[in-house]
């Protein structure tokens, strides 16, 4: 067989054990919190029909989807004429499926298909990769994991408070400092009314959403370029909207209650924010300190109908490491309207980068395997295998070096694999039924029987 | 937006929580054993370059791969003439990648690419989905999970014995009865020499591999159809090869040592089998009882060079639920020859079906969430949320019904979600700082304070 050059597709990655262990640490913390909060796991297939995905992510999404070529003879029954007129014309003839682009649309599809098996309100979590043919760059990959938790089938504001709590507890468990930004779609609607451009709500917020990147001057300029009256920018600047600390919550709400006194949707949004805010301390006494109002937060407006959430890392300048919100009509896309949902999403790859940059991965992750047993010789092998079996039966990750190589080489293997304990049974240990044990981090040596060895490992863990 | 019909691609599945919990149970047992045996996790991307995958799985594999259409304008720079001459001619112009077809070839690719970062002998495990455009049927899906453990960089026969042990311990932990079949490629080579058809080794074994399905008469007929001398079938039948219990191991080996006395490769195969066999009791005292010699076992011969393994379920007639073997030149495909490896694979979906058919999933899996708290009224809500927080802090999966609906409806929700404990704080419980608790499986009711509730839940778990 011809030798092939080993290569990886652009924007994709192999994960070697060291990185995998760190990723598993993140996923385990996220998943155990999802479970503790009563969320149940689901999974959907990597491939979805284009009839399900198309048009759900805007034009950009349709561009960036990875499409699957139809199986077998994909040109069978296709006339050559169908293959002209540009690739967009050809596409429907040769591809019916694409790779999952996010977890939300497949979840909505699943809920509608299985609506009679599902017990609403349905709390589900889902941790799976998604694929986007984005231009790869630092921190942006073509395959990456999303971790989503959603509750569907209830419009209770308890859920907003509970999901903010869930966010906070996950990031606390990961030892990360975060600021959770909170807004409400109804505030954005009210702002567009207040500024006299209710018909331009979408353009207004799409541009406003870029505030972080282009600053207020850039936002006003972009509004002007869209043909908004100049008064809009001025009036907006005069509103002096800032992300506020928890100490300013009341003042901000009070100020806008006056401004929105004639705008019912605005008052409704403020009232929802107050309810959520007042629930927070009942979930976690100090939680309000980590939540800020931000009336400029928009995030995919056309999708959210109530609360809008975003999580910013305070450990590094990494932008958003999570986002979510309330949506009232997601399953309506698939013919089941009127089911309100509230969800959050965590970007595992970006969280990884934040923890790495902040140097906050726990030390213990480097040692996956606890014990290496030396292959000394064939006479002592049976006794060594007996130790191996007892270590494993005690739940300790252990291995024997498979070849009878020089002992120095075997120790070197343990050091490279970050295995802390090395055990050896030589001829004299065989007669005394002990092990010669070396603890590599300190170099200390011991002579132990098996039960002592096991208990020392468990103590050190 | 137009309403889309919710559909799933042929041969793919959604996993709802009940099924997910059972799948996680299987994956957790497999993964925890992989770890205990010193294997380290890796992952590779779902998409691989066709230059890496093509030709590695035979013609059938090339047919069954899901190909990814090139991103963007996939017809740019392609002349219309290139789109003629049948789909196989068109393919290379419009597709450069395909979905992972197994875990072994991507692993070999990864080892070669990362050879300088890897500490050999490298024990890795990998649990990821693979995709095949097979005709869907009962138990066969287009997306399914493989769970592989391999050691690469050592030809020690200790590894054969260790991986047989690993198989046995995983299936024991899953409460499944299995028979592990053992053969060696060198025995098959020797058989072809003994039967006088050394040049036809491949055809000989491909047909022999079907023995289970078509019986000995069918095998002989197929050999004859391939033009083998009729004497081959006769001689083979006279060999009276049977899958043997551990009690027959010695007799079988002795008999073939005589038959192969002039065939060195056969004697070498037998000697390897003896070494592995004699190592087994040192890993697990009773292990030999679950291992059988089967000199007809072939499994993808062109790939295995030494030991060949297959696991058969004894709980149901489900065929193979795992397989593996020794390969001496897998990384040679990518330009790194001479690295011997030994690996096993488990088919999670088929294992699921076996456990389900045998009724062997543990009872406790039905209850993912331990406690539902009733949303009684807004006066008692803060006290109820305090309980919720304390339960979760104690590591108990708990939730509150998000809406203040009729209490009967909330109990019904708990029953449907298989939540065993329901806690309620009404007005009188508020004054006595207790909860009214109902244990749904028996209907028993209690009045407890929070610490008692927590300790009772932990006791019952």
ipTM: 0.95
Residues 367-386 of A with CB under 8 A from B: 368-369, 375, 381-382, 385-386
**Using N-to-C axis directions, what is the helix angle for A264-283 and A185-194, rounded to 10°?**
150
CB-based contact, B427 to chain A, within 8 Å: no
Statement to judge: residues A336 and A422 lie in one domain? no
B323 part of a folded domain: yes
| CB–CB contact B7 A51 (8 Å) | yes
Structure confidence at residue A311 (pLDDT): 96
Q: At which of A337, A358, A379 does a domain end? A: A358
CA B218 to chain centre: 30
Give bridge partners of residue B140 from the DSSP assignment. B137
CB-based contact, B394 to chain A, within 8 Å: no
Structure confidence at residue A79 (pLDDT): 77
Q: In CATH, what number is assigned to the domain containing residue A379?
A: 3.40.50.800
A87 part of a folded domain: no
Across residues A391-396, what is the average pLDDT? 96
**Domain total in chain B:** 2
Across residues A429-450, what is the average pLDDT? 96
Structure confidence at residue B85 (pLDDT): 76
Distance CA A245, CA B85 (A): 67
B12 part of a folded domain: no
| CB–CB contact B17 A90 (8 Å) | no
Statement to judge: residues A129 and A32 lie in one domain? yes
Q: Which two tokens mark B280?
A: 């087994």
| CB–CB contact A99 B46 (8 Å) | yes
| CB–CB contact B87 A73 (8 Å) | yes
Structure confidence at residue A366 (pLDDT): 92
Give bridge partners of residue B67 from the DSSP assignment. B98
pTM (predicted TM-score): 0.95
Statement to judge: residues B293 and B421 lie in one domain? no
Is residue A272's pLDDT more than 90?
yes
**Domain range for A441:** 367-460
Statement to judge: residues A200 and A249 lie in one domain? yes
Structure confidence at residue A137 (pLDDT): 87
Statement to judge: residues A419 and A299 lie in one domain? no
| CB–CB contact A69 B67 (8 Å) | yes
Residues 57-116 of A with CB under 8 A from B: 63-64, 66-69, 71-76, 80, 83-84, 86-87, 90-91, 94-97, 99, 109-110, 112-114
Is residue B418's pLDDT more than 80?
yes
Please name the residues in contact with A457: beta carbons below 8 A apart, sequence gap of 6 or more. A370, A371, A391, A396, A421
**Using N-to-C axis directions, what is the helix angle for B185-194 and B230-239, rounded to 10°?**
130
**Using N-to-C axis directions, what is the helix angle for A381-393 and B264-283, rounded to 10°?**
50
Distance CA B311, CA B320 (A): 6
* Burial class (CB within 10 angstroms; exposed 0-12, middle 13-18, buried 19+) of A345: buried
Statement to judge: residues B123 and B189 lie in one domain? yes
Structure confidence at residue A318 (pLDDT): 73
Among chain A residues, the shortest Cα distance to B16 is held by A42
CB-based contact, B51 to chain A, within 8 Å: yes
Name the pLDDT band for A66 (thresholds 50, 70, 90): very high
Statement to judge: residues A156 and A40 lie in one domain? yes
Name the pLDDT band for B340 (thresholds 50, 70, 90): very high
Distance CA B393, CA B388 (A): 9
| CB–CB contact B131 A9 (8 Å) | no
Across residues A178-207, what is the average pLDDT? 95
Is residue B288's pLDDT more than 70?
yes
State chain B's mean pLDDT as an integer. 94
Residues of A in contact with B393 (CB under 8 A): none
Structure confidence at residue B72 (pLDDT): 84
Whats the size of chain A, residue-wise?
461
CB-based contact, A394 to chain B, within 8 Å: no
Q: A7, A10, A17: which to substitute to probe chain B, counting the most B Cβ within 10 Å? A: A17
Statement to judge: residues A251 and A120 lie in one domain? yes
A9 part of a folded domain: no
Distance CA A285, CA B176 (A): 48
| CB–CB contact B114 A16 (8 Å) | yes
Is residue A301's pLDDT more than 70?
no
In angstroms, the separation between the Cα of residue B386 and the nearest Cα of chain A is 6
Across residues A108-131, what is the average pLDDT? 97
CB-based contact, B48 to chain A, within 8 Å: yes
CB-based contact, B338 to chain A, within 8 Å: no
- In this complex, which of A17, A41, A333 lies closest to B40 when CB atoms are compared? A17
Statement to judge: residues B137 and B168 lie in one domain? yes
Distance CA A350, CA A320 (A): 8
Residues of A in contact with B114 (CB under 8 A): 14, 16
CB-based contact, A417 to chain B, within 8 Å: yes
Structure confidence at residue B301 (pLDDT): 56
Instruction: Write the pLDDT tens digit of every residue in B443-461.
Output: 999 999 999 999 999 998 7
Query: Strands (DSSP E) along A70-194, which ranges?
Result: 95-99, 122-131, 143-152, 178-184
- In this complex, which of B6, B21, B86 lies closest to A52 when CB atoms are compared? B6
Distances (CA, A) of B453 to A223, B364, B392, B399, B435: 58, 19, 13, 15, 8
In angstroms, the separation between the Cα of residue B51 and the nearest Cα of chain A is 7
Structure confidence at residue A86 (pLDDT): 80
Structure confidence at residue A1 (pLDDT): 62
B36 part of a folded domain: yes
- Higher pLDDT, residue B74 or B173: B173
Neighbours of B136 (CB within 10 A): 14
Q: Which two tokens mark A92?
A: 């429907």
Distances (CA, A) of A456 to A138, A442, B47, B91: 43, 14, 45, 60
Name the pLDDT band for A55 (thresholds 50, 70, 90): confident
| Percent of chain B with pLDDT strictly greater than 90 | 84
Statement to judge: residues A378 and A270 lie in one domain? no
| CB–CB contact B158 A402 (8 Å) | yes
End-to-end CA distance of chain B: 48
In angstroms, the separation between the Cα of residue B144 and the nearest Cα of chain A is 9
B80 part of a folded domain: no
Distance CA A66, CA A53 (A): 11
B405 part of a folded domain: yes
Q: A45, A85, A134, A411: which to substitute to probe chain B, counting the most B Cβ within 10 Å? A: A45
Instruction: Write the pLDDT tens digit of every residue in B373-409.
Output: 999 999 999 999 999 999 999 999 999 999 999 999 9
Residues 208-267 of A with CB under 8 A from B: none
Is residue A300's pLDDT more than 80?
no
Is residue B247's pLDDT more than 90?
no
Q: At which of B330, B358, B386 does a domain end? A: B358
CB-based contact, A43 to chain B, within 8 Å: yes
Statement to judge: residues B308 and B379 lie in one domain? no
Residues of A in contact with B73 (CB under 8 A): 86-87
Across residues B225-249, what is the average pLDDT? 90
| Alpha helices, H only, B65-200 | 87-94, 104-113, 158-173, 185-194
CB-based contact, A119 to chain B, within 8 Å: yes
Q: In CATH, what number is assigned to the domain containing residue B328?
A: 3.30.930.10
Mapped onto helix, strand or coil, the DSSP state of residue B97 is strand
Query: Strands (DSSP E) along B80-237, which ranges?
Result: 95-99, 122-131, 143-152, 178-184
Name the pLDDT band for B77 (thresholds 50, 70, 90): confident
Structure confidence at residue B1 (pLDDT): 61
Residues of A in contact with B113 (CB under 8 A): 6-8, 14
CB-based contact, A338 to chain B, within 8 Å: no
Across residues B49-78, what is the average pLDDT? 89
In angstroms, the separation between the Cα of residue B227 and the nearest Cα of chain A is 27
Q: Is the peptide bond preceding residue B121 cis, with omega within 30 degrees of 0?
A: yes
Distance CA B451, CA B97 (A): 57
Q: At which of A331, A358, A385 does a domain end? A: A358
Among chain A residues, the shortest Cα distance to B51 is held by A4
Structure confidence at residue B75 (pLDDT): 83
Structure confidence at residue A460 (pLDDT): 86
State chain A's mean pLDDT as an integer. 94
Residues of A in contact with B76 (CB under 8 A): 87
Among chain B residues, the shortest Cα distance to A389 is held by B283
Structure confidence at residue A183 (pLDDT): 96
Angle at A168 (CA atoms; ends A165, A171), nearest 5 degrees = 150
Name the pLDDT band for A81 (thresholds 50, 70, 90): confident
Statement to judge: residues A348 and A371 lie in one domain? no
Is residue A443's pLDDT more than 90?
yes
Across residues A24-51, what is the average pLDDT? 98
Structure confidence at residue B375 (pLDDT): 98
Is residue B81's pLDDT more than 80?
no
Is residue A90's pLDDT more than 90?
no
Distance CA B423, CA A428 (A): 62
A152 part of a folded domain: yes
Neighbours of A146 (CB within 10 A): 18
Nearest to A67 by CA among A85, A47, A89: A47
Q: Which two tokens mark B212?
A: 């289970």
Residues of A in contact with B96 (CB under 8 A): 9
Q: Among all chains, which residue has been given the structure tokens 């996993």?
A: B15
Name the pLDDT band for A374 (thresholds 50, 70, 90): very high
């Amino acid at each position: 067989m011809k030798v092939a050059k080993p290569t990886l597709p652009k924007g994709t990655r192999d994960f070697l054990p060291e990185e995998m262990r760190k990723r598993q640490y993140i996923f385990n913390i996220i998943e155990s919190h999802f479970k503790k909060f009563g969320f149940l796991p689901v999974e959907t297939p990597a491939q979805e029909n284009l009839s399900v995905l198309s048009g759900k992510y805007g034009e950009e999404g349709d561009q960036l989807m990875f499409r699957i070529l139809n199986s077998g003879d994909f040109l069978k029954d296709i006339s050559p004429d169908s293959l002209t007129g540009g690739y967009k014309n050809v596409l429907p003839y040769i591809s019916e499926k694409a790779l999952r682009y996010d977890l939300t649309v497949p979840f909505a599809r699943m809920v509608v298909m299985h609506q009679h098996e599902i017990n609403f309100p349905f709390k589900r979590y889902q941790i799976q990769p998604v694929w986007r043919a984005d231009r790869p760059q630092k921190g942006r990959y073509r395959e990456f994991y999303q971790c989503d938790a959603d509750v569907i089938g209830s419009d209770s504001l308890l859920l907003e408070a509970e999901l903010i709590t869930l966010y906070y507890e996950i990031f606390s468990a990961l030892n990360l400092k975060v600021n959770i930004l909170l807004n409400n779609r109804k505030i954005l609607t009210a702002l567009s009314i207040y500024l006299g451009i209710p018909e331009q709500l979408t353009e207004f917020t799409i541009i406003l959403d870029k505030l972080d990147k282009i600053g207020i001057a850039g936002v006003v300029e972009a509004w002007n370029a869209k043909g908004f009256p100049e008064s809009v920018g001025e009036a907006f600047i005069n509103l002096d909207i800032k992300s506020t600390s928890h100490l300013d919550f009341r003042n901000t709400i009070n100020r806008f209650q006056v401004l929105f006194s004639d705008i019912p949707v605005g008052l409704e949004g403020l009232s929802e924010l107050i309810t959520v805010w007042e629930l927070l301390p009942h979930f976690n006494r100090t939680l309000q300190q980590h939540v800020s109002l931000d009336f400029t937060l928009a995030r995919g407006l056309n999708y959210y109908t109530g609360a809008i959430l975003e999580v910013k890392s305070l450990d590094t300048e990494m932008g958003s490491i999570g986002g979510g919100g309330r949506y009232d009509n997601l399953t309506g896309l698939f013919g089941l309207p009127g089911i309100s949902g509230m969800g959050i999403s965590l970007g595992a790859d970006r969280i990884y980068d934040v923890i790495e940059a902040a140097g906050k991965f726990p030390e213990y992750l480097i040692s996956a395997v606890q014990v290496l047993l030396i292959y000394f010789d064939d006479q002592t092998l049976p006794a060594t295998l007996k130790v191996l079996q007892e270590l494993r039966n005690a739940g300790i990750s252990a291995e024997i070096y498979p070849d009878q190589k020089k002992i120095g080489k075997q120790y070197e293997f343990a050091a490279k694999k970050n295995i802390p304990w090395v055990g050896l049974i030589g001829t004299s240990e065989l007669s005394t039924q002990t092990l010669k044990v070396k603890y590599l981090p300190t170099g200390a040596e011991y002579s132990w029987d098996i039960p002592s060895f096991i208990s020392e490992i468990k103590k050190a863990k």
